[in-house]
Structure 1
């Protein structure tokens, strides 16, 4: 068993690349998940239970969040390449160590990626909040790279 203090995944950054195109580092990555859909079938003459059969895999959208910075331009440039046509690509997300922000702790390769949404900051002179952006990606699945 590994030492849990050897590579702590605390305050990590998530470096994102789309088909080799860097999009910079994000401070939050949510929604990395998969669900097996279940189909229920009732068998005639069997009143004790309902058969639950595994169906398709359903992957949740991945949401990446960070403070607006110079790398925000990289996302804008990626979106500008899609004018009129959105093609599925592959993404590489690497969780980087908190002490050097360079050494990967773990990484995932997402297949069939398309951007779902980019949300920019809510700007108000009344509140002193960090301006953040969120990038949401749909995908066909992920593997540990």
Structure 2
């Protein structure tokens, strides 16, 4: 009988530090972009023609994409609107928490110096009965696990 079960990926929250947000502002349908790539540079060695050495150069982080049902009154969306409509960027930190069955954090990722670069609303269609989804895309410097 198994004694360890991997955590589920559907129980999480997103907290925006620096914004006084309500509990509803922490709930998202999905979070994508928690990954990191290490870029490398090829270095050839004199006299060795069989291979090239790969030297790590820098890390590269993709954009963080958050999706949820549309909120009419949201501090997060006000922050996004200031950036995309008024070109007033105020970078903040985020904490993405993977939660257990008791709503306690199992793992947390601290997203550093994030600001919005895209805010979109899903298409409206009178022939479908779906929730309106908003998507927020953020660029950030890096993340670390807490």
Structure 2 match to 1:107: 108
Structure 2 match to 1:19: 18
Q: Which has the higher helix share?
A: 2
Distance 1:10 1:89 in 2: 25
Aligned residues: 139
Please identify, of 54-63 and 41-50, the stretch whose mean Cα deviation from structure 2 is larger: 41-50
- SS of the equivalent of 2:87 reads coil
Structure 1 match to 2:98: 95
Maintained 8 Å contact 1:24/1:74: no
Distance 2:9 2:44 in 1: 47
Cα distance, 1:13–1:114 mapped onto 2, change above 3 Å: same
- SS of the equivalent of 1:110 reads strand
Gaps of 5+ in 2: none
Task: After superposition, give the CA deviation of every residue in 1:100-128 in whole Å (9 maximum; x if it has no partner).
Answer: 5x422321111121112111121110222
Distance 1:14 1:134 in 2: 16
Distance 2:46 2:138 in 1: 43
Aligned-residue Cα RMSD (Å) equals 2.2
Structure 1 match to 2:4: 4
TM-score normalised to the size of structure 2? 0.80
Superposed displacement of residue 61, structure 1: 1.1
Distance 2:64 2:141 in 1: 11
Superposed displacement of residue 79, structure 1: 2.3
Q: Which has the higher strand share?
A: 1
Distance 1:93 1:35 in 2: 19
Please identify, of 25-34 and 73-82, the stretch whose mean Cα deviation from structure 2 is larger: 73-82
TM-score normalised to the size of structure 1? 0.81
